[in-house]
């Protein structure tokens, strides 16, 4: 009899994972309601800043946040593997069009150069040529005699998607150094003479030259006038629970957005 | 006294639990391999198994899957790691065995502690110290295959040192004493006896280290530069199969067209790792 009980426990433990449904929202071990959020790394700090307060107001709800990129965020929500997707992609993939969206505002994309490059302003055409790898030395643009080193984000990044729209074929230089995060791009450009890159701006970024484009200076007090930006958005499935939709909306209206460089802009109704 | 026959009751239960655990592990391994094989089959059906796979143009969103830059990157980075780490690990092992035998336990503990350091720490160290140093010396960006290889060398050094100490420690004290008693100098005893007898376990340790280096991702990604073109020198930025998998998994998650190339790349790594395991087994057989 005792052995049967032990065997029942062993099989119970083995079969426990299969007893969970695939949908993240219905995973309720020990009576907890779980909400999973996945997607763009640019929205992770804002989400993590907001969540502790929200979770305190909603006891019994546990929210998990995973970075995975904008594409993965949208796909995970479209296929029911996560509740909220975070993305700053444009144009939107087809799967995102079927989802409910909660835009958070705009996130400025600043073009940054190493302080020793000796260039503070580029025309849009010069910027494109530099990013395409067609200009090899800063001297050509009136800067110091340093080879141009392009630093970029991977293709899954929302900022990269914006850049790919800006830079026509053949696209970004294949010689570019790829860094996985905004912070890594900033550090690389700051420390590498000759480097140029782009980051989703947030307060506190320094040690690099913020490049003006077509004599339009990157002015943090007038971000709404800066023409280069991404649109970070939270996505949920149309059939998601009201709690999930409420969380997505609260995240998109978070009072902490300014801390992370997200600002309101005309034409965005939030 | 009656002899004990059969298996005691408690043992039988424990045996089944352990067997179940082993079975689950096997099933997990097969499931992972099956997913990768399935993805690879889908990739081959969609794109064919053609020479362009060994090409140099990689644009997965435009159906161009030249994997040569990553295969070359993996091989070069692993080679640098082994060439740098093996002599250092051997030096540590010889020093411990020959001159610090009383401190061997303590040194083993320290090395075991170093093995447990997360790879991202090594990557950060490489980013903060190694990349600027290479940049300062070479005048190039610093992000390079060389930086990746050196970070890997430092990463595998504790493991390789531990395995080398274990290999040299297996040589019988009687043999060493006998060699010295016959008039051989300590250097001759080290070179012609200890290292000679330990060559198979040392080879085994090296192969294990190669496997570890080949599979490492995060630390290498932080310093290698992620450039998708065929590298034209050790100071050139590049990418390995693992770093490109890490970079592209966000772009091509399961369900997105083009994802199967990642399964194919992962299967290549799995096959390479399995090759390493087979090689270790073969070297063990040679040593018997």
Q: Of A200, A156, A193, nearest to A178 (Cα)?
A: A156
- pLDDT tens-digit series, residues A191-236: 999 999 999 988 888 899 999 999 898 888 888 889 999 999 999 9
Return the CA Rg of chain B.
23
ipTM, two decimals: 0.76
Q: Which of A14, A156, A195 sits opposite B251 (nearest CB)?
A: A156
- pLDDT tens-digit series, residues B240-277: 999 999 988 888 877 777 888 999 999 999 999 888 88
Q: Which of A70, A154, A175 sits opposite B247 (nearest CB)?
A: A154
Cβ atoms of A116 and A144 within 8 Å: the answer is yes
Least confident of A14-23, B26-35, B41-50: A14-23
pLDDT surpasses 70 at B55: yes
- Among A171, A180, A193, A194, pick the best mutation site for testing chain B contact (most B Cβ within 10 A): A180
- pLDDT tens-digit series, residues B57-74: 888 878 888 999 999 999
Using a CB–CB cutoff of 8 Å, tell me whether A229 touches chain B: no
pLDDT surpasses 90 at B286: no
Band of pLDDT at residue A63, cut at 50, 70 and 90? very high
Cβ contact, residue pair B227, A176, below 8 Å: yes
Instruction: Tell me whether strands A84-87 and A233-236 are parallel, antiparallel or unpaired.
Output: antiparallel
Which domains can be identified in chain B, with CATH numbers? 65-287 (1.10.3720.10)
- Burial readout A213-226 (b: 16 or more C-beta within 10 A, e: otherwise): beeeebeeeebeeb
Band of pLDDT at residue A52, cut at 50, 70 and 90? very high
Which domains can be identified in chain A, with CATH numbers? 2-105+231-263 (3.40.190.10), 107-229 (3.40.190.10)
Q: Which of A75, A174, A188 sits opposite B256 (nearest CB)?
A: A75
Quote the pLDDT of residue A144.
94
Cβ contact, residue pair A180, B228, below 8 Å: no
pLDDT surpasses 50 at A49: yes
Instruction: Report the mean per-residue pLDDT for chain B.
Output: 88
Chain A segment 107-166 residues within 8 A of B by beta carbon are: 149, 154-156
Token pair 């600043």 is found at A110
The pLDDT > 90 percentage for chain B reads 45
Higher-confidence position of A136 and B47: A136
Q: In chain A, count of helices (H) and strands (E)?
A: 8, 14
Residues forming a β-bridge with A112: A197, A210
Quote the pLDDT of residue B78.
94
Return the CA Rg of chain A.
22
Token pair 């503990």 is found at B109
CA distances from A128 to A125, A172, B61, B269, B283 (A): 5, 8, 21, 37, 55
- Among A13, A38, A72, A116, pick the best mutation site for testing chain B contact (most B Cβ within 10 A): A72
Quote the pLDDT of residue A25.
42
Cβ atoms of A47 and A65 within 8 Å: the answer is yes
Q: Of A210, A4, A24, nearest to B13 (Cα)?
A: A4
Structure tokens at B114: 């170093």
Residues of A in contact with B127 (CB under 8 A): 184, 187
Quote the pLDDT of residue B99.
86
Quote the pLDDT of residue A5.
58
* CA A214/CA A139 separation, integer angstroms: 18
Put residue A154 in one of left, alpha, beta given phi > 0 → left and psi -120 to 50 → alpha.
Answer: beta
Non-local CB neighbours of B260 within 8 Å, separated by 6+ positions: B39, B40, B42, B43, B46
Structure tokens at A139: 């001297």
Quote the pLDDT of residue B121.
92
Interface of B with A (CB under 8 A): 9, 13, 17, 20, 24, 61, 127, 131-132, 135, 141-143, 221-222, 225-229, 237, 239, 246-253, 255-256
Q: Of B85, B251, B78, B255, nearest to B160 (Cα)?
A: B85
Quote the pLDDT of residue A270.
40
Residues in chain A: 270
Residues of B in contact with A176 (CB under 8 A): 227
Averaged pLDDT for residues A150-164 = 89
């Amino acid at each position: 009899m005792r052995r049967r009980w032990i065997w029942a426990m062993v099989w119970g433990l083995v079969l426990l994972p299969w007893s969970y449904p695939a949908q993240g929202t219905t995973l309720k071990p020990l009576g907890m309601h779980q909400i999973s959020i996945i997607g763009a790394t640019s929205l992770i700090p804002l989400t993590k800043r907001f969540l502790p307060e929200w979770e305190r107001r909603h006891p019994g709800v546990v929210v998990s946040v995973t970075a995975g990129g904008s594409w993965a965020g949208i796909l995970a929500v479209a296929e029911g593997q996560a509740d909220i997707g975070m993305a700053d992609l444009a144009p939107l993939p087809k799967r995102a069009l079927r989802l409910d969206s909660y835009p958070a505002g705009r996130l400025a994309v600043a073009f940054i150069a190493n302080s020793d490059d000796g260039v503070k302003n580029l025309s849009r055409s010069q910027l494109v040529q530099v990013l395409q790898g067609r200009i090899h030395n800063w001297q050509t643009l009136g800067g110091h005699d340093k080879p141009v080193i392009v630093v970029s984000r991977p293709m899954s990044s929302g900022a990269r998607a914006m850049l790919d729209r800006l830079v026509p074929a053949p696209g970004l230089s294949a010689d570019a150094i790829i860094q996985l995060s905004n912070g890594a791009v900033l550090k690389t450009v700051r420390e590498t003479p000759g480097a140029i890159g782009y980051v989703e701006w947030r307060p506190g970024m320094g040690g690099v030259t913020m490049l003006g484009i077509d004599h339009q200076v990157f002015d943090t007090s007038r971000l709404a006038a800066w023409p280069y930006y991404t649109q970070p958005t939270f996505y949920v499935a149309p059939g998601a629970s009201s709690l999930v939709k409420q969380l997505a909306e609260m995240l998109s209206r978070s009072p902490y957005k300014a801390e992370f460089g997200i600002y309101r802009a005309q034409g965005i109704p939030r | 006294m009656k002899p004990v026959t059969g298996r005691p009751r408690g043992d039988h239960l424990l045996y089944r639990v352990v067997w179940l655990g082993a079975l689950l592990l096997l099933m997990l391994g097969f499931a992972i391999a099956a997913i990768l094989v399935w993805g690879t089959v889908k990739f081959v059906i969609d794109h064919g198994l053609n020479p362009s796979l060994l090409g140099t143009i990689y644009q997965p969103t435009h159906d161009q899957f030249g994997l040569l830059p990553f295969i070359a990157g993996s091989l070069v980075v692993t080679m640098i790691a082994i060439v740098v780490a093996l002599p250092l690990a051997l030096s540590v092992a010889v020093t411990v065995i020959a001159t610090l035998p009383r401190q061997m336990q303590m040194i083993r503990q320290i090395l075991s502690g170093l093995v447990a350091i997360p790879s991202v720490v090594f990557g950060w160290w490489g980013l903060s110290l190694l990349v600027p140093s290479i940049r300062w010396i070479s005048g190039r960006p610093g992000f390079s295959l060389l930086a990746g290889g050196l970070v890997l060398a430092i990463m595998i050094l504790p493991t390789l040192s531990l395995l080398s100490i274990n290999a040299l420690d297996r040589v019988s004290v009687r043999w060493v004493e006998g060699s010295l008693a016959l008039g051989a100098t300590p250097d001759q005893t080290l070179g012609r006896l200890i290292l000679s007898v330990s060559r198979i376990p040392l080879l085994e340790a090296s192969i294990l280290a190669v496997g570890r280096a080949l599979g490492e991702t995060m630390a290498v990604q932080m310093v290698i530069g992620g450039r998708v073109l065929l590298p034209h020198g050790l100071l050139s930025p590049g990418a390995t199969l693992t770093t490109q998998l890490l970079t592209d998994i966000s772009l091509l998650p399961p369900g997105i067209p083009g994802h199967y190339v990642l399964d194919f790349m992962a299967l290549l790594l799995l096959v390479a790792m399995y090759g390493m395991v087979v090689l270790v087994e073969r070297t063990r057989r040679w040593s018997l």
